[in-house]
């Protein structure tokens, strides 16, 4: 008798706790639209260049490694700017 009461309390507790999870509708997540003012990618390249210069100043990088990384990041930044301009030129 006591075991059936315990099982009844456990079952009722599980139902009460999980009911809101199943009652609410599933919400879909929509990605935000690309904006002309979304500078996150460009900002990340510039931030990486800044970090690279700090690493050179603190002698964490050799000069040849610095030059390679700097050229790579500058090219990526310029490619991103070019693509951004092609996709959404200023009016």
The structure tokens listed for 15 are: 């139902």
| pLDDT at residue number 43 | 87
Average pLDDT on 74-79 reads 91
| pLDDT at residue number 19 | 81
Phi, psi of 66 (to 5 degrees): -60, -45
88 or 72: which carries more pLDDT confidence? 72
Per-residue pLDDT tens digits for 29-73? 565 566 665 667 888 888 999 999 999 999 988 899 999 999 999
Q: Within 1-91, where are the H helices?
A: 2-23, 40-57, 63-87
Question: 0.75 cut: is pTM over it?
Answer: no
Decide if 26 contacts 65 (C-beta within 8 A): no
Percent of the chain whose pLDDT exceeds 70: 77
Q: Where are the domains of the chain?
A: 2-25+34-87
């Amino acid at each position: 008798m006591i075991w059936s009461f315990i099982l009844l309390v456990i079952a009722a507790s599980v139902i009460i706790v999980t009911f809101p999870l199943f009652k609410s509708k599933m919400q879909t997540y929509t990605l935000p639209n690309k904006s002309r003012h979304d500078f996150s990618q460009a900002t990340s390249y510039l931030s990486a260049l800044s970090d690279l210069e700090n690493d050179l100043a603190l002698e964490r990088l050799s000069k040849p490694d610095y030059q390679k990384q700097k050229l790579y990041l500058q090219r990526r930044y310029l490619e991103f700017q070019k693509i951004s301009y092609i996709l959404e030129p200023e009016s």
